[in-house]
């Protein structure tokens, strides 16, 4: 009988959370001392996680940069973050970061950018699994016909974010 074997997995670092109250709802920032893992809309009626003495600097930097974004002062993010997904998903998410502030693209544009023109539906699926809202700008993806398409945070938020960026984009 074969043994199932064991793998030596390194433990995931301690996770911290911090909430940012934006104009479109609460964003829960989650990460470690080293990087941010997720920024997701929190629509639950839960208490807001506020800064604590042990809140890592990387989460504080993310919070500050999100604040600057919502004030129209920041167009790019520089804090460290980590993608958690398949190689294909990471390719899609990296391609999303090439869509400039105030601009839009389509699922087909992303499929072409990653060299897999026929993967439009798979790109849409990967887009929907993005855990770094706003920073990995999946809200900038619209339909090929120019219409708004699905957004995990809700279409009303997508519309608001696109209008916000159009208001503050540099020509």
- Computed on alpha carbons and rounded to an integer, the radius of gyration of the chain in Å comes to 17
Q: How far apart are CA 153 and CA 164, in angstroms?
A: 15
**Would residue 138 show up in a list of annotated catalytic residues for this protein?**
yes
Distance separating alpha carbons of residues 17 and 51, to the nearest angstrom? 9
Q: Which of 18, 96, 136, 138 is catalytic?
A: 138
Q: From residue 159, how far is each of 2, 8, 9, 46, 130 by CA, in Å?
A: 55, 45, 42, 25, 18
Q: How far apart are CA 69 and CA 20, in angstroms?
A: 12
* 62 three-class SS: helix
Give catalytic residues, as residue numbers: 138
């Amino acid at each position: 009988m074969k043994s199932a074997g064991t793998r030596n997995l390194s433990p995931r670092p301690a996770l911290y959370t911090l909430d940012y109250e934006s104009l479109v709802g609460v964003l829960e920032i989650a990460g470690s001392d080293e990087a941010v893992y997720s920024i997701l809309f929190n629509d639950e009626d839960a208490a807001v996680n506020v800064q604590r003495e042990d809140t890592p600097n990387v989460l504080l930097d993310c919070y500050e940069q999100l604040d600057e974004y919502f004030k129209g002062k920041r167009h790019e993010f520089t804090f460290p973050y980590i993608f958690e997904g398949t190689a294909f998903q990471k390719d899609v998410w990296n391609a999303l970061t090439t869509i400039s502030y105030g601009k839009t693209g389509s699922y087909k544009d992303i499929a072409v950018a990653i060299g897999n023109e026929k993967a439009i539906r798979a790109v849409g699926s990967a887009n929907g699994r993005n855990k770094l809202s706003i920073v990995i700008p999946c809200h900038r993806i619209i339909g090929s016909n120019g219409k708004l398409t699905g957004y995990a945070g809700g279409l009303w938020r997508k519309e608001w974010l696109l209008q916000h960026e159009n208001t503050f984009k540099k020509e």
